[in-house]
Structure 1
Amino acid sequence: MKQKGPPMIAKIIEFCARNKFAVFLLMALAIIWGLWALKHTPLDALPDLSDTQVIIYTEWTGRSPDLVEDQITYPIASTLLAAPKVQAVRGFSYLGSSFIYVIFEEGTDIY
């Protein structure tokens, strides 16, 4: 396919050379708009990239991890699986204590 006339970039350069005031005005508007956007765009230095989660800590002093798992961790974790917008539930049992991590879907307001 043959192109008729000068290429598009040549036309743009020619237009800018002929209309210097319009180019100057557009550049000034672009700079003003950029400065306005720089001032009004909210920035977060340390954005929150973690999952929306709740951590439940339980303590049953002096009990074995198996007993803590059977009596505390498993019942709480299995009940929380039915909560709305729950993505995952993870439970960890230790000597006399346990942690249950409940991870929710993105954008869930846990409050």
Structure 2
Amino acid sequence: MPWMYILRCADGSYYVGSTIYLERRLREHNEGRGARYTMRRLPVELVYSAEFPNIAQAYAAEKQVQGWSRAKREALIRGDFEALPGLAKKDFARYRAKRGQSEE
């Protein structure tokens, strides 16, 4: 069955991928035969996986999660599904403060 998965890399970053053979792909990552990103951040640890009915859906989920913030990925990993919608909202006040702009 197809899977979307999240790995925690040795440097604390996350890698999101999809595959049909989850165990084999995890082994490939840890043997340095996975993605270039993970080759430089070994070892990696599987922290989340979700099974899908077909590879197209697993790939779509991979692309969606790749676009998420670190906080939103960590909520998914924790299983805190109620937090996900709130983490999708942009904090414009913080964004403006970083750029020295005032609230309008």
Indicate whether the TM-score tops 0.5: no
- After TM superposition, the score normalised by the length of structure 2 is 0.25
TM-score, normalised relative to structure 1: 0.23
Q: Which is greater in Rg?
A: 1
